[in-house]
Amino acid sequence: MRAYHVCAATLERELGIDPSPETRAVYESLVTVGQAEKTPGTPPFTGRAAERARLAAVWRAAASGHPRLVLVTGEAGVGKTRLADELRAQPGAVTAEARAYPAEGPLAYGVAAAWLRSAPVAARLSRLGRPDLTELARLLPELAARATPPEPLPEAELRHRLLGAIGRALLAAGAPLQLIVDDAQWADAQSLRLIHYLIRSAPSARLLVAATARREELDENHPLTAVTTALHALGRCTEIGLSRLSREETAMLAERITGAALDPPGLDRLYGDSEGNPLFVVEALRPGAPAAQKGPAVIAGRLARLSPAAAAAAGVAAAIGQAFTADVLAASTGLDEQAFVAALDELWRRGIVRAQGPNAYDFSHGRIRDAAYAALGPPRRRHVHLAVARALERSEHAAAAAIAPHYEHAGATAEAVRWHERAAEAAQWLHAHADAVRALERALALSGELPDGPDTAGLQLRLLTALPGRPGDRAAGQPARVSAAVQPLAVLDRDLAQRRQRRRLLPPGRRIPPPPGRTAARPGPGRTAGPPACGPVRWPRPPRRPGAPPP
């Protein structure tokens, strides 16, 4: 079924045709197709002649050995992804795609890992030398069998080796190369820095990185802004801003979708309701869309017309929050195989989801995912997140950082804490310190909901010890229960600091006097002296191997 979905999407996109009757017959033998619906497709590209011409010019320059970044910006639904999709039609281009998601904290090197797993890059990984495979195994656990286990490395060395290995792997996929990152406003900082590295370090590579991003989500502190500013200064970045469609363009798009020109009152209504946002134009003109609905309600209405099984599968897929394999979705829905296949196929036929990458599906638009998630009531959400967490735990590629939030939303606090802690370890392994701190702080905050007892106190001490800074200082900002639990460690930490300080001040050979009286609540004089007693100094264990249970 997936092969059919990929084949149909490719034929539609690249040639504007449907699969042959023979291919369709094989597909129909797999799923019971209700109404003979046409393969879902996107309307032909419409308007935007100037922006399209700029994109083509940038591509020609990049493909001739002047690597660059093109950033397509604009509001949600305005057509950024659709314009970037046009790149793939360029003859001879090798394309690797990734999409970022509005997760609680993006996974370090997540976008880079998606590029590495894309078909043209993955197909050539085996040609890399063992040292490069060893570095890449830090991001792709599936390479572990082919590589020497990676070692902990100092930060600068790790970055140097890892970026070098990723760069060689991507550029080995063929040329001219397009690296597309959709929704880059949610991309991880490490992958965005990689873009800068690639374009700078391979000055004659036949490479175009194309990013789409919602302009309103990029402030001056966003890591993408730093990358575009630096590349602008080198003359290697082009931004193409998209505005809403004009009335004439809206009319043209409507005609392409329906096959007939709208009458003037119909066009007035469509333009008024959609305000020239192509997403709402497309959704309003889908067969069966109620005339009275406008804007976001159109999308909710579309979901309401799904069969119960397909609607349930859409809700579960939305809770996953990013691209998903059919296996993970099947395991999370709990539908039997026949019902699941029919439900997923219905979602695909109705254009709710699309095939993405070599082995995954995703919603055809983030707005549809949002609407499907909003349709889940709170009790159902908990249940669904628990099922998703369990399914991800058993899947091959799921990162700890992707699993933890599902347990959290499910109200399974102990598991959530455990997976946040694992996520922190995986982040430390990649020197993604901000991610590690965020995960540890989340685990610590959640630990306040666990039952009192020595296990919880021990856990909290461990989390506080892993955080940078003094445990006592850290504990001060925590809820009363947490700071009470950590008090003994804070006292010990202060005593050690005082002893160290006195030892430095005493003449050689003198014994260290006993510590002063312990008045636990008052901060001691040694607080600010000496090196930090605790912090992310211990090297974590290697990231969890696929399928392995948490400790």
Ligand X SMILES: Nc1ncnc2c1ncn2[C@@H]1O[C@H](COP(=O)(O)OP(=O)(O)OP(=O)(O)O)[C@@H](O)[C@H]1O
Site of interaction with Mg ion (CB under 5 A): 81
Q: Is the Cβ of residue 56 or residue 76 nearer to ligand X in the bound state?
A: 76
Task: Give Cα separations from 181 to 111, 128, 299, 446 (angstroms).
Answer: 7, 24, 25, 33
Stretch that binds ligand X, among 361-369, 390-398, 432-440, 454-462 (CB under 6 A): 361-369
Instruction: Mark 55-74 with x for binding to ligand X (rule: CB under 6 A) and - for no binding.
Output: -------------------x
Quick one: 218 or 230, whose CB is closer to ligand X? 218
**Binding span for ligand X by CB under 6 A among 45-53, 59-67, 143-151, 404-412:** 45-53
Binds 45: which of Mg ion, ligand X, none (CB < 5-8 Å by kind)? ligand X
| Nearest-angstrom CA–CA distance, 367 and 77 | 8
CA dist., res. 550 & res. 545, Å (int): 10
Give the pair of three-digit tokens for residue 511: 């014994």
Contact 403, 104 (CB under 8 A): no
41 DSSP 8-state letter: -
> Which window, 28-36, 42-50, 192-200, 385-393, contacts ligand X (CB under 6 A)?
42-50
Cβ of residue 310: shortest distance to ligand X, in angstroms? 19
- Taking the least distance from each CB to ligand X, the nearer of 47 and 448 is 47
Contact status: 139 vs ligand X (CB under 6 A): no
Stretches 359-367, 386-394, 439-447, 522-530: which one binds ligand X (CB under 6 A)?
A: 359-367
Judged by beta carbon, residue 115 or residue 186, the one nearer ligand X is: 186
Give least dist CB 77 to Mg ion, A.
8
Binding to ligand X by residue 333, rule CB under 6 A?
Answer: no
Helix (H) or strand (E) segment spanning residue 410: helix 400-410
Window contacting ligand X (CB under 6 A); options: 32-40, 75-83, 134-142, 263-271: 75-83
Helices and strands (DSSP H and E) totals, the chain: 25, 7
Could you check whether the bond before residue 176 is cis, i.e. omega within 30 degrees of 0? yes
Among 7, 23, 45, 487, binds ligand X (CB under 6 A): 45
Q: Virtual CA dihedral for 532, 536, 537, 540, nearest 10 degrees?
A: 160
Q: Tell me which of ligand X, Mg ion, none is bound by residue 132, counting a contact when its beta carbon lies within the kind-specific cut-off of 5 to 8 angstroms.
A: none
Closest CA to 454 of 478, 417, 421, 488: 488
Could you tell me if 456 and 462 are in contact, meaning their C-beta atoms sit under 8 angstroms apart? no
Closest distance between ligand X and the C-beta of residue 72, in Å? 8
State the nearest-atom distance from the C-beta of 215 to Mg ion, in Å: 13
The pair of three-digit structure tokens given for residue 203, joined into one six-digit string: 């000055």
282 contacts which partner out of Mg ion, ligand X, none, CB within 5 to 8 A by kind?
ligand X
Q: Which of 442, 444, 473, 474 is nearest to 459 (CA)?
A: 444
Q: Which of 43, 174, 468, 542 binds ligand X (CB under 6 A)?
A: 43
State which residue, 84 or 198, has the beta carbon closest to Mg ion.
84
Mark residues 250-289: x for contact with ligand X by CB under 6 A, - for none. Answer: ---x------------------------xx--x-------
Work out whether 47 is an interface residue with ligand X (CB under 6 A): yes
Under the criterion CB under 6 A, does residue 174 sit at the interface with ligand X? no
Q: Is residue 121 within a helix (H) or strand (E), and if so which, with residue range?
A: helix 119-122
* SS3 at position 178: strand
Q: Which two tokens stand for residue 174?
A: 């063929």
The region of 1-9, 10-18, 39-47, 130-138 touching ligand X under the rule CB under 6 A is 39-47
Least separation in angstroms between CB 431 and ligand X: 31
CB 317 within 8 A of CB 372: yes
Q: How does strand 237-241 pair with strand 68-73?
A: parallel
Least CB distance from residue 238 to ligand X, whole Å? 17
DSSP-assigned states of every residue in 268-331: HHHHHHHTT-HHHHHHHTSTT--TT--THHHHHHHHHTS-HHHHHHHHHHHHH-S-B-HHHHHH
Q: Which of 72, 74, 120 is nearest to 96 (CA)?
A: 120
Q: Please state, in angstroms and rounded to a whole number, the distance separating the CA atoms of residues 329 and 326.
A: 5
Residue from the set 4, 8, 40, 46 that interacts with ligand X by CB under 6 A? 46
Is residue 78 close enough to count as binding ligand X by CB under 6 A?
yes
Give me the residue label for tokens 């092969």.
Answer: 3
Could you tell me the smallest distance in angstroms from the CB atom of residue 214 to Mg ion? 8
For residue 283, which of 264, 263, 304 has the smallest C-alpha distance? 304
Question: Which of 214, 350, 422, 470 is close enough to bind ligand X by CB under 6 A?
Answer: 214
Q: Which residue is nearest to Mg ion (CB)?
A: 81
Question: What's the min distance (Å) between Cβ of 110 and Mg ion?
Answer: 17
Rounded to 5°, the CA angle 388-392-395 comes to 145
- Kindly tell me which of 81 and 325 has the beta carbon lying closer to Mg ion: 81
DSSP SS3 for 542: coil
Determine if 366 is a binding residue for ligand X (CB under 6 A): yes
Name which of 180 and 279 has its Cβ closer to ligand X: 279
463-492 residues in contact with ligand X (CB under 6 A) are: none
How many residues comprise the chain?
A: 551
Structure tokens at 155: 């930060």
Binds ligand X by CB under 6 A, chosen from 23, 42, 90, 395: 42
163 or 282: whose CB is closer to ligand X? 282
Contact footprint for ligand X (CB under 6 A): 42-43, 45-48, 74, 76-82, 183, 212, 214, 253, 278-279, 282, 365-367
